[in-house]
Amino acid sequence: MQASSQAEQTRERLIETYRHKARRYDLTARLSPVPGYPQHRLRLRAVRALNLRPGDFVVDVACGTGLNFPLIQRAIGPDGRIVGVDMTDAMLARAQERIESSGWRNVSLVLSDAAEFEFPTGADAIVSTYALTQVPDSAAVIRHGAAALSEGGRCVVLDLKIPGTAPRWLTQLGAAAIRPFAGIDEWMARRPWETIRAAMRQDLTEVSWSEPCLGTAFLGVGSRGRTR
């Protein structure tokens, strides 16, 4: 009961934080966690790791304002499909503005907690960028997503982390990145990137794991194995 209550408190804190930041999120994201950090380059690397093809069906978990959408659209084209999932109404409102201004007709949005979202079956790819370490039950997201992937479909997670062996200034950089969204002591103690890595290894195949930017970020890539 206590764990459930704590998870609910974390969820409510995140919703309120993102509601407050939604209007300026696209601008502040470029400066996160610090000015000059290659956030967009890593986001592009994550989308490329999906190995998308024209016509693919992609689920963007914790999609926020839809910053990944243009990158995905370039790969899947108008015959593809995107479902963006986020738990914050204000962030989805901004995503809807992006959809309408771009004239996309192949994107739908779902208001849902990532851990409670019912993944549509047959997705060709699932991506989550800079968000999943804040979800208390991130392992459930990986498990549910992996079960919904089509055979050979890919799941990619990009997020920030605390470097394992690094100078103090690097540790402080990782901590500063998530301070507005979660209790820093709880986040560091929970080490959610390790939970995500273990879940990907358990529920996906051909898992690769890299830690760019001196270990302040991670990129996990896995596939749903093909049945014989």
Averaged pLDDT, 32-43: 85
What's the pLDDT score for residue 14? Answer: 76
Averaged pLDDT, 57-65: 97
Averaged pLDDT, 199-211: 97
Please classify residue 96 by burial: count the beta carbons closer than 10 Å to its beta carbon, then call 0-12 exposed, 13-18 middle and 19+ buried.
Answer: middle
Q: Of 44 and 167, which is predicted with more confidence? A: 44
pLDDT tens across 76-129, in order?
A: 999 999 999 999 999 999 999 999 999 999 999 999 999 999 999 999 999 999
Confidence of residue 176 (pLDDT cuts 50, 70, 90): low
pLDDT tens across 154-171, in order?
A: 999 999 998 876 555 555
For 109-119, b/e burial (b = at least 16 CB within 10 A) is: beeebbbebeb
Please, are residues 57 and 35 in contact by the beta-carbon 8 Å criterion? no
What's the pLDDT score for residue 214? Answer: 86
Angle, helices 89-102 vs 69-76, to 10°: value is 40
Domain ranges of the chain: 2-223
pLDDT averaged over the chain? 87
Question: SS3 for 109?
Answer: strand
Question: Residue 1: what residue type?
Answer: M
Task: Give the C-alpha separation, 18 to 87, whole Å.
Answer: 9
Task: Give the C-alpha separation, 22 to 140, whole Å.
Answer: 26
Residue 139 has pLDDT above 50, yes or no: yes
The strand pair at 81-86 and 149-160 is best described as unpaired
What's the pLDDT score for residue 22? Answer: 81
CATH pick for 2-223 out of 3.40.50.150, 3.90.79.10, 3.30.230.10, 3.30.70.100: 3.40.50.150
